[in-house]
Amino acid sequence: MGWIRFLRRRFWDEERAREIQSYIEMETDENIARGMPSEQARAAAHRKFGNSTYIREEIHRMNTIGFIESLWQDLKYAFRSLCRNPGFAATAILTLAIGIGANTAVFSVVDAMVLRPLPYQESRQLVSVTWESRDSLDARDGGWLPNSHYRSDEIEDWRAQKSIFSGVEPYYQWSDADLNPENSDALDAIPIATGMLPMLGVQPKLGRGFLPEEGQPGRNNVVLLSNGYWVREFGGDPAVLGRAFTRDNRMYTIVGIMPGNFEFPVGRKPDAWMPWTKESNGGMFSLVARLRPGLHIDQAQRDASLVSGRIRTEPAFKKGGFPYLSHLKRALDSKTRTALLAMFCAVGFVFVIACANVANMMLSRGATRQREIAIRRAIGSSRARLIQHFLVESFMLAIAGGITAFLFASWMARLIISRLHIGINSQLLDPGLAQNGRLLVFMGIITVLACLLSGLIPAFRSARRSRIPGLTETSRISGDTAALQRVQFVFQSLQMGLALVLLMGAGLMAHSFMRLTLTKPGFNTANLWRLEVKVPSKPQGVAALALYDQLKTLVQSIPGVRAATISRGTPAARQFSYFRIPKGETGAGAAVPQFFVDPDYFATLGIPIVAGRNFGSEDDVSSTPVAIIDARCAERFWPGQSPIGRQLRLQAGSLPRTIVGVAAPVKTGIYAEPRSCQLYEPFSRSPRYASIVLRIDGKAGPVLARARSIVETLSPKTEISDIASFDNLYAIQDAGVADAPRSCLILMLIFALIGLATAAVGIYGLLSYSVARRTPEIGVRMALGAAGGHIRMLLIRVIWMPVIVGISMGVLASLGLTRFLRTLLYEISPHDPVTIVLVIAFLLLVALAACWLPCRRAVRVDPMTALRVE
Amino acid sequence: MPKKGTPPIQGDMLQGTLDLLVLQTLVLGPAHGHTIAHVIEHQSENVLQVEHGSLYPSLHRLENRGWIASFWGSSENNRKARYYRLTPAGRKQLADHISRWDLLVKAINRIIRPATE
């Protein structure tokens, strides 16, 4: 093999030198035996040999140039040959590009969410500090949220533990925009302590970090912008440094811009970061700490547990809990993980199908290049050389495909993330494709894989022939067709099988999605309107309550308003809080939508209370905290029992809520699963930012206008910031916010269809080639009187077997594989028979369609022309 | 004897036929480079004079192609020498080469000696 010799040139050179030396010795001996004196003998031997240095150089050159020359020859030839067959080249390149590109796109998503190293200095020494109990540790499900602490003394106490931590900094994990998703003006800025950036070891790329005095209440109106936000909102203009902008009636001064890869908290790239103060967000915080250099986390954990008695924190934490240190890392919940994995497999299948297609195409081409191969063998080309030749050609195709893929993979990755809505934003993909070393390596590997998968078998097949029949045969019916057909059979059925698995996955998801959409929302959406009220003065407590009460009374008096209610959080709006239920009951925790509603809420929306009681005027700030949960939630956490009277604990440290009623479950969005719980609390307990929900009789227009004018006269600068109708929010075409199931489905469908299309093109190509090859034979048959149908049957038999085999194997494979999709499927079994039957039928239909054109061509063959070609 | 300084390989035709000669020499059994060189010289009754050194690139090329294989052994004088033997592929190549050589010779003869037909 040329390249082995190339790499071991020096070894061979020494070998040859030794060999030449031994020749000289032998010749010298002979000369001495003939009677020459020894010096003359040696001289004569050298003369007889010739110029030994020259010979050695020549062999060395053979090793070097021989290989490089052959490679260069192959490259030139491959390029010319592909240019001569632009159709083949374009199809092959495009097919490979799709395979490579899709894989790279999905990999970049996986990379951004899982593999990418954290952008902090020595991130292994950074830990999050939380208080956990045995139960809460057990109840973790991937997408874990750190708990929020209340007592700022805790920070000082931890900082005092200099033997464990070299730094402890607080931050708050939610921004204004997270907590008030209906307020489109809220700033998405995460509060972090002024010492956080130095502890993480990250500098802003422009401007400066936070100063310690900016961590004081009232002085923290400064922000560090994220790179993405800076580019999006300010066009990447460096002059914005030092300037101020207003959001939600507050002014923020820009002091710096963070680098593009910075994320905090882990897995999030908010628009900006601002200084955390003891007063912001009620002084709640989560903790990140840096371990003392050289300290291992296990040791630190032990030390922390030992000193936990000295740390001042909420009694609720301490009771049965212990401080828990864990490495900072991106966490994914099981749904996201499954979705990503499914996508990775799907795209992998598409890749194999694409490579199989190209391999098939190359095999067919190889069969028509028999003459050329025969000539090469005849003039002495070794088998290795032939294989090298073919591999170079497929390598060229793969490289071209890779380059094409590079161009659109970045776009595709962004598309995937932005559509997938699985809790990450597309900013996570910064820096882009070109600068990400891991991605480029992956692309390289995939390209080489593509080259090998599509080129190896055709290369070996072409080089395998031991006879040299091509020179003597003139007809196009080449020898060795049986073996060739077997290989193509294998490829074809492989493609069919993979396409079936893909379709099965997509089909199941489609079926599940349909079920989801058809489930009723759980309340009466007809003529129900939501108006978001924006009050710039941000009243709190009693003042707010009074304001909203007044608003409600006024609105209720508008003719045409059948019912009105005030609430913060409505179905179809993203709301959440994290609540835990102490083990003893079930121990699980969940992030669930939380609604603050007044007693008229359930009546207005038409949600029946199925157990217990509604909220009443007795439930206000001063009474025991109460809550109403929905029936599904109740069933999930207290199966078979009544939840009335039981307690829920929300953020640790807050008072537990007593459940007083159970409401019927509601879908929080058209595509949301009724599986998610709803938690209702009285609005009077937290009378902040709210919406009015109205049920209107008759024409909505005038009523809404009246309502708007009422709101505007209510208090200075009050206005309605958004109006939405629930009919629209729950209509199919408006995806709204949580449309993860739909996006996932769309992507799976796209991949499945791409795979199917590729496989179908494969069938079409194979059959066309078959027809072309057998034209003389068909001509003969038709001349002998065969009917069109007979010819068609002949051809169908060529591809029918691989299709049937492929489908059978595919069905078996999917029966085994689809159970991994269980978490993504809603009320559909992974072995749903309806889906299986439909998918098989669809595949058969497509296969049939792919046959149609070549069959038609075959039947149209004119016997006379066909026979003349022979 | 070819003059010192002239390129050892005289034309591609000689290179091709040199391969043939080497292969033929090895039919009778393995030999090392020195032996092969002398056999060719003597068997052709000294007509074919090739600088012995030019044999080695040829051996190298043949080994590259897998037509001959090499191994280290000891020679008659108990010196270490590199021996070559014919491989099955090489045997086949030899047969092909010989038949083509015959064809070539016959064709050329037909042209230059049409009278003998």
Strands A250-257 vs A222-225: parallel, antiparallel or unpaired: parallel
**Interatomic CA distance for residues A394 and A462, integer angstroms:** 13
Residue labelled with tokens 């070891």:
A201
Q: Which of A177-181, A473-477, A549-553, B45-49 has the lowest mean pLDDT?
A: A473-477
DSSP category for residue A149? B
Can you spell out the DSSP letters for A3-45?
HHHHHTHHHHHHHHHHHHHHHHHHHHHHHHHTT--HHHHHHHH
| Segment A357-369 mean pLDDT | 80
Distance from CA of B75 to the nearest CA of A (A): 9
Out of A18, A22, A51, whose CB is closest to B53?
A51
Decide: helix, strand or coil at residue A267. coil
Strands A594-597 vs A679-682: parallel, antiparallel or unpaired: parallel
Kindly state whether A29 is in contact with chain B, defined as any CB-CB distance less than 8 angstroms. Answer: yes
3-state class percentages of chain A: helix first, strand second, coil last, to nearest 5: 55, 15, 30
Kindly state whether A827 is in contact with chain B, defined as any CB-CB distance less than 8 angstroms. Answer: no
Cβ neighbours of A698 (radius 10 Å): 12
**Interatomic CA distance for residues A255 and A587, integer angstroms:** 45
**Interatomic CA distance for residues A131 and A317, integer angstroms:** 6
Can you spell out the DSSP letters for A615-674?
--TT-STTS--EEEEEHHHHHHHSTTS--TT-EEB-STTSPPEEEEEEE----SSTT--T
pLDDT of A525-546, one tens digit each?
888 888 888 777 767 778 888 8
Kindly state whether A22 is in contact with chain B, defined as any CB-CB distance less than 8 angstroms. Answer: yes
Give yes or no for a contact between A702 and A654, defined as CB atoms under 8 angstroms apart: no
**Interatomic CA distance for residues A733 and A439, integer angstroms:** 36
A282 pLDDT band, cuts 50/70/90, is low
Query: Which of the residue ranges A194-203, A275-284, B48-57, B97-106 has the most confident prediction, judged by mean pLDDT?
Result: A194-203
- The token duo for A689 is 């930012």
Interface of A with B in 50-109 (CB under 8 A): 50-52, 54-55, 58-59, 62, 66
Which residues of chain A lie closer than 8 angstroms to B65, CB-CB? 380, 382
Q: Is the pLDDT of residue A290 over 90?
A: yes
Residue type, A410: S
Query: Would you call A55 and B66 a contact, using CB atoms and an 8 Å cutoff?
Result: no
Nearest-by-CA chain B residue for A66: B61
Which residues of chain B lie closer than 8 angstroms to A52, CB-CB? 53
> Best residue in A15, A21, A56, A58 to probe B by mutation, most B CBs within 10 Å?
A58
CA dist list (Å): A59 to A14, A15, A64, A715, B69: 11, 11, 9, 96, 17
A422 pLDDT band, cuts 50/70/90, is very low
**Interatomic CA distance for residues A744 and A740, integer angstroms:** 6
Which residues of chain A lie closer than 8 angstroms to B80, CB-CB? 22
Query: What is chain A's length?
Result: 870
Cβ neighbours of A296 (radius 10 Å): 11
**Which one has a higher pLDDT value, A5 or A67?**
A67
Whole-number pLDDT of residue A478: 47
pLDDT of A197-220, one tens digit each?
999 999 999 899 899 988 888 888
**Interatomic CA distance for residues A621 and A353, integer angstroms:** 63
Nearest-by-CA chain A residue for B32: A23
β-partners of residue A170 are A287
Whole-number pLDDT of residue A331: 67
pLDDT of A301-313, one tens digit each?
999 888 888 888 7
β-partners of residue A188 are none
Which residues of chain B lie closer than 8 angstroms to A28, CB-CB? none
Q: Is the pLDDT of residue A261 over 90?
A: no
Distance from CA of B109 to the nearest CA of A (A): 23
Give yes or no for a contact between A321 and A133, defined as CB atoms under 8 angstroms apart: yes
Whole-number pLDDT of residue A311: 82
Whole-number pLDDT of residue B37: 84
Query: Would you call A48 and B79 a contact, using CB atoms and an 8 Å cutoff?
Result: no
Query: Would you call A22 and B79 a contact, using CB atoms and an 8 Å cutoff?
Result: yes
Out of A5, A26, A47, whose CB is closest to B79?
A26
Q: Is the pLDDT of residue A452 over 90?
A: no
Query: Would you call A19 and B56 a contact, using CB atoms and an 8 Å cutoff?
Result: yes
**Interatomic CA distance for residues A282 and A278, integer angstroms:** 7
> Omega of the bond prior to A198 within 30 degrees of 0, cis?
no
B20 pLDDT band, cuts 50/70/90, is confident
Out of B37, B66, B81, whose CB is closest to A382?
B66
Q: ipTM above 0.90?
A: no
Return the half-sphere exposure (C-beta side, CA atoms, 13 A cut-off) of residue A268: 18
β-partners of residue A190 are A273
| Segment B64-83 mean pLDDT | 82
Here the contacts of A810-816 (C-beta below 8 Å, separation 24 or greater) are A810/A496, A810/A497, A810/A498, A810/A499, A810/A500, A810/A501, A810/A504, A811/A500, A811/A504, A811/A836, A811/A840, A813/A497, A813/A500, A813/A501, A814/A500, A814/A501, A814/A504, A814/A505
**Interatomic CA distance for residues A276 and A258, integer angstroms:** 17
**Interatomic CA distance for residues A525 and A724, integer angstroms:** 11
Nearest-by-CA chain B residue for A27: B34
**Interatomic CA distance for residues B9 and B2, integer angstroms:** 11
**Which one has a higher pLDDT value, A10 or A553?**
A553
DSSP category for residue A114? I
Query: Would you call B53 and A25 a contact, using CB atoms and an 8 Å cutoff?
Result: no
Strands A589-592 vs A528-534: parallel, antiparallel or unpaired: unpaired
Q: What is the mean pLDDT of chain A?
A: 79
**Interatomic CA distance for residues A197 and A259, integer angstroms:** 12
Whole-number pLDDT of residue A255: 92
| Segment A709-726 mean pLDDT | 78
- The token duo for A463 is 């080089």
Q: Is the pLDDT of residue B63 over 90?
A: no
* DSSP collapsed to 3 states, A810-845: HHHHHHHHHHHHHHHCCCCCCCCHHHHHHHHHHHHH
Q: Is the pLDDT of residue A369 over 90?
A: no
**Interatomic CA distance for residues A309 and A289, integer angstroms:** 19
Which residues of chain A lie closer than 8 angstroms to B68, CB-CB? none
Cβ neighbours of A355 (radius 10 Å): 27
Kindly state whether A467 is in contact with chain B, defined as any CB-CB distance less than 8 angstroms. Answer: no
User: Under 8 Å CB-to-CB from A123, ≥6 apart: which residues?
Assistant: A117, A328
Whole-number pLDDT of residue A771: 73
- The token duo for B116 is 């003998």
DSSP category for residue A716? T
Query: Would you call A5 and B8 a contact, using CB atoms and an 8 Å cutoff?
Result: no
CA dist list (Å): A852 to A450, A769, A771, A845, A849: 30, 14, 12, 11, 5
DSSP category for residue A254? E
* DSSP collapsed to 3 states, A378-393: HCCCCHHHHHHHHHHH
> Best residue in A15, A19, A56 to probe B by mutation, most B CBs within 10 Å?
A19
β-partners of residue A254 are A223
Give yes or no for a contact between A288 and A129, defined as CB atoms under 8 angstroms apart: yes
Would you call A162 exposed, middle or buried from its count of C-beta atoms within 10 A (0-12, 13-18, 19+)?
A: exposed
Whole-number pLDDT of residue A88: 82
Whole-number pLDDT of residue A866: 67
Can you spell out the DSSP letters for A310-362?
G----HHHHTT-EEEEEE------HHHHHHHHHHHHHHHHHHHHHHHHHHHHH
Cβ neighbours of A333 (radius 10 Å): 16
| Segment A149-158 mean pLDDT | 81
**Interatomic CA distance for residues A140 and A516, integer angstroms:** 27
DSSP category for residue A292? P
pLDDT of A622-658, one tens digit each?
788 888 888 887 887 777 888 888 877 665 556 778 8
Would you call A613 exposed, middle or buried from its count of C-beta atoms within 10 A (0-12, 13-18, 19+)?
A: middle
Shortest CA distance to A730 belongs to which of A678, A672, A669? A669
Query: Would you call A19 and B60 a contact, using CB atoms and an 8 Å cutoff?
Result: no
Whole-number pLDDT of residue A273: 92
| Segment A146-162 mean pLDDT | 80
Out of A29, A54, A62, whose CB is closest to B60?
A62
Whole-number pLDDT of residue B74: 80
A196 pLDDT band, cuts 50/70/90, is very high
